[in-house]
Structure 1
Amino acid sequence: MDQINPASTVAGAPELTVVVPCYQERPNVVPLAERLDAALAGIRWEAVFVDDDSPDGTADEVHRLAARDARIRCLRRIGRRGLASAVIEGALASSAAYVAVIDGDLQHDETRLPAMLRTLREGGCDIVVGSRHLADGDAAGLSGAWRHRLSGAGIRLAQAMLPVRLTDPMSGFFMLERRLFERLAPRLTGRGFKILLDVLLAAPAPLRVREIPAQFRAREAGVSKLDALVLAQFAGVLAEKMLHGLVPLRFIAFAAVGAVGLVVHLAVLTAMRRLAGLSFADAQTAATLVAMAANFQLNNQITYRDQRLRGGRLWRGMLLFMLVCGLGAVANVGIANVLYQGHTIWPAAGAAGAMIGLVWNYAVSATLVWRRS
C-alpha cells in the first residue's frame, strides 16, 4: 500500500464496497489493497476487511492502511467466527450501490471486478459470479488432487439443489446490488464458508445470474481453510435449506455426531466384553465415557467449529458436557420407562426417550458448554 497515493483517491461516496472476509491473512493485506487500487482505477470504491480477531495481527495491518487511506476499513469481530457471517456483517456495513465479495488470500482475480460492475450496471441480471469453470477461467489455485475432489463434490451437491444452473456454485467471488443483499440478509443462515449458495437459496424467486470467467490463483501466503469439515458444513447448510430452516444446522450436526457416538459406544462395549473380559456393567461404563468424550471432541470440531473451546476451557467444557449428557441419559431412561409402563410399544418408547435426551443434550450444551463469551 506504500505505493498508493491517497491524493489519487476518487472523490465522492463509494459506488462499490469490496468485502474481504479474512482470518490469519496479515501478509496478504497490503498486496490485496494495492491490487484493488490498480484494478479499480476510476471507480469509487472501498474495501471492508472483516477480521475474525486473527492472532497474527491482520486487523492491526488493516488499521495501519486505513489511517492513510479512507477507502480501507476494518471490521474486527470478537467471539465470532466464520466466512459467511463475516460477509454478511461486512456487506451490511456498506452504503454503496454494489457489494462484491473476494477472499483475502489473493487467489481471486481482482482484475475482473470492473467487468462484473459493468455487467450489473447494464441490468439484465441480479448477481455476477466469477467462475473458474468457464472457458478462460482457471482453477489451478486448487492445490492438490484432494482439494479438487472436495471442490468437485461440493459443486455436484450444490447443482442438485439450486434453482439456477451454475458452473461454479462454490465460488466465493461475486457481486450484487447492496439493496438486494439487504433484502435477503434476514433469510441467510450465516453458516459455513460458501455464502454464494446461501444467497441463491435464500431468494424467494430464482435470481438472474451471470457468470464471467475468472482465474483462481495459487495461494501466495497463509494457509488454506478448505478441508473435509468445510464440505461437511456445506452439506449441512444444504440440508438446513431443504428443511426450510425448521431444523437448525447445529442440531443436524449434533444429531449426526450422536450417531457416530453410538457406533463408538457399541465398538468399545464389544471390545471391553470380548477382549478385556469385563462385566457388562463395567464395559457399559467404559463405553459410555469413551463415547461421551468422542462426542464432545467431534462437536467441538464440527458442530461448534466457530466457537471451539481450547486450553483450560476445553477440559472444563468436556467435564460439563459429560455432566449434561449424564442428566440427559437419566431423562431418556425415565421418560422411556414411563411411556413403556403406559403400554407404549417398546421401540416407540425407546425412540421417544432418545429424542428427549438428544434435545436436552443439544439445548443445554449450547447454553452452558459452547455459550458465546
Structure 2
Amino acid sequence: MDQPTETLTNAQGRDENHAAELSVILPTFNEAANVPLVLDLLRKTLVGVRWEAIIVDDNSPDGTTDVGRAIAATDAQVRVIRRIGRRGLSGACIEGMLASSAPYVAVMDADLQHDETLLPKMLAELRTGDYDLAVASRKVEGGAVGEGLSKVRAWGSNIANGLAQKLLNVSLTDPMSGFFMVRREKAEELAPKLSAQGFKILLDLVSSAGGTLRIKELPFTFKERLHGESKLDTLVTLDYFGLLMAKYFGNVVSVRFLMFGLVGASGLFVHLLALKLFLDMAGLEFNLAQTGASFVAMTSNFFLNNQLTYRDRRLTGLKVLIGLLTFYAVCSVGVLANVGVANLIYSDPTYWWFAGAAGAIMGAVWNYAASSALTWRKS
C-alpha cells in the first residue's frame, strides 16, 4: 500500500508544496541593515498567506546582496536578484515583478517606511476580483505623511502629485506613492510600456494603463527611516519631470532622451552665462568666447548626465576622467557645428544670445547620439 506523501516544509515550518500567492518585491540599494528587519515584519504580518519576498539589489556596496542570500539559504520564501550594470528603482521593480509567478505582486520599500500591515488588506481587496491595483495612499482620509518626509520633501511631493493629476489625468490621490499591490497579469501586460529609468513606477504603471485599471486606495502613514540614507536627491526632480513629459507625449521619445534634453536645457543656460562673461569680462572675440562657453557647458552637461541621465551606467573613479575626455572628443563635431552655425548668425552684437543658442542647439543631437554610444556605452 502506498505511503501518504509527506508534506515538505522549510526551516520556518511553512508549506512548500504550494506556489506563492503573493510576491513582495523589495528593490534595494545599500539596505543591508534593513533587509533582515523587513523580512521579519513580513513573516509576522503575512501569517496564513503563501508569500515570497524577491529582493532586487542594484549591486549594493554595503553587502545587501550577501545579507539577502544568507537569509535565502535557510528560508525558501526569500529570493535574491543581483543586478550588475543596471540601476534604478523602476527597473528593479519591473524585473522583480516579471520574475514572479504569483497571481499578485506587491512593491514596497525595504527601508521600513512603508506599513507592512497594509499588505493583507491590499490582498483582500484584490482577491474580491473588483480591483486590479491596491495603492497605499497618504492623501486619502486616514492617511498621513507622518515623520517620513521633511517639510520641503512633503511640499515637493504635493506639487508633483498635482502635476501628475493635471498633465496625465491620473485620478490617484497619491500618484507618488511607491507602495502598492497589483495583479501580476496586469503588470505583465503593461511591462513593455514601462520605463526602467526613474523612481515613480506607480505613476508609470497607472498612466501607461490609460484608465483601464480598477484601483482601490487605502490609507497609510509614511514612517521614518531607521537605517541608511534616502535614495532621493534633488536630481530626481528632473527625472520625474522627464517621466511626466514622456507620458504626456505618449512615449514618442524615451525618458532618457528627455533627461538628456533637460540637462541640455540647463547647459544652454550655463553656455549663455559663460558666453556673456567671456565677451564682457574677459573681452574675448566672439568665436573664442563661443568655443570656451561650449566647453564650459559640455563639462556641466557631462557631470549632470552622469548623475541623472545615465545613473544606471554611472561612471566612477578614474572612469569619470576618461569619460569626460571621451565626452569632449565625441562632441567635438558638435562643437564645430555649434561654433560654425553661431558664427554665421552672429552679425549684430545685440543678438549674441540668439547666435549662441542656435549654435548650442545644433550640437545637441550629435552630443546625445555620440555620448550614448561611446561615453556611457553599455558594458
Q: Give yes or no for TM over 0.5.
A: yes
Contact 2:115 2:223 in 1 (8 A): yes
Residue number in structure 2 paired with 1:230:
236
SS in 1 for 2:111: coil
In 2, Cα distance between equivalents of 1:65 and 1:190? 27
In 1, Cα distance between equivalents of 2:149 and 2:173? 20
Match of 1:186 among 186, 192, 198: 192
* Range that drifts further, 157-166 or 214-223: 157-166
After TM superposition, give the deviation of residue 350 of structure 1 in Å. 10
Contact 2:259 2:308 in 1 (8 A): yes
The change in CA–CA distance for 1:293 and 1:350 in structure 2 (over 3 A counts) is closer
Matches within 5 A, 1:98-117: 98-117=104-123
After TM superposition, give the deviation of residue 335 of structure 1 in Å. 8.1
Per-residue Cα deviation, 1:233-252 (whole angstroms, up to 9, x for no partner) = 11111100111111222222
Contact 1:22 1:49 in 2 (8 A): yes
SS in 2 for 1:53: coil
Residue number in structure 1 paired with 2:172:
166
How many residues of Structure 1 are paired with residues of Structure 2 in the alignment?
363
Residue number in structure 2 paired with 1:342:
none
In 1, Cα distance between equivalents of 2:144 and 2:103? 29
* Range that drifts further, 355-364 or 143-152: 355-364
Q: Does 2:135 match 1:129? A: yes
The change in CA–CA distance for 1:279 and 1:356 in structure 2 (over 3 A counts) is closer
SS in 2 for 1:175: strand
Match of 2:40 among 21, 26, 34: 34
Match of 1:251 among 250, 257, 276: 257
Residue number in structure 1 paired with 2:333:
327
After TM superposition, give the deviation of residue 156 of structure 1 in Å. 1.0
Q: TM-score, normalised by structure 1?
A: 0.90
* Range that drifts further, 168-177 or 204-213: 204-213
In 2, Cα distance between equivalents of 1:306 and 1:254? 14
Residue number in structure 2 paired with 1:341:
none
CA RMSD across the alignment:
2.5
The change in CA–CA distance for 1:313 and 1:322 in structure 2 (over 3 A counts) is same
In 1, Cα distance between equivalents of 2:279 and 2:358? 28
Residue number in structure 1 paired with 2:246:
240
Match of 1:216 among 222, 229, 233: 222
Match of 1:67 among 65, 73, 80: 73
SS in 1 for 2:34: helix
After TM superposition, give the deviation of residue 135 of structure 1 in Å. 2.3
The change in CA–CA distance for 1:162 and 1:267 in structure 2 (over 3 A counts) is closer
In 1, Cα distance between equivalents of 2:276 and 2:360? 21
Contact 2:238 2:262 in 1 (8 A): no
* Range that drifts further, 256-265 or 39-48: 256-265
| Amino acid aligned to 2:129 | G
| Amino acid aligned to 1:114 | P
The change in CA–CA distance for 1:222 and 1:215 in structure 2 (over 3 A counts) is same
Q: Does 2:84 match 1:78? A: yes
After TM superposition, give the deviation of residue 269 of structure 1 in Å. 2.3
Contact 2:161 2:176 in 1 (8 A): yes
Per-residue Cα deviation, 1:15-52 (whole angstroms, up to 9, x for no partner) = 00000001000000101000000000000000000000
In 2, Cα distance between equivalents of 1:78 and 1:101? 21
* Range that drifts further, 282-291 or 55-64: 282-291
Per-residue Cα deviation, 1:53-78 (whole angstroms, up to 9, x for no partner) = 00000000000000010000000000
Unaligned runs of 5+ in 2: 1-9, 345-353
Q: Does 2:30 match 1:24? A: yes
SS in 1 for 2:76: coil
In 2, Cα distance between equivalents of 1:282 and 1:163? 48
Q: Does 2:56 match 1:50? A: yes
Contact 1:150 1:228 in 2 (8 A): no
SS in 1 for 2:364: helix
Match of 1:361 among 355, 361, 367: 367
Residue number in structure 2 paired with 1:313:
319
| Amino acid aligned to 1:85 | G
Residue number in structure 2 paired with 1:268:
274
Q: TM-score, normalised by structure 2?
A: 0.89
Residue number in structure 1 paired with 2:4:
none
| Amino acid aligned to 1:51 | D
Unaligned runs of 5+ in 1: 339-347
Identity, in percent, stands at: 51
Q: Does 2:143 match 1:141? A: no
| Amino acid aligned to 2:308 | I
The change in CA–CA distance for 1:143 and 1:256 in structure 2 (over 3 A counts) is closer
| Amino acid aligned to 1:177 | R
In 2, Cα distance between equivalents of 1:253 and 1:124? 37
Match of 1:120 among 115, 126, 130: 126
SS in 2 for 1:206: coil
* Range that drifts further, 111-120 or 272-281: 272-281
After TM superposition, give the deviation of residue 214 of structure 1 in Å. 1.4
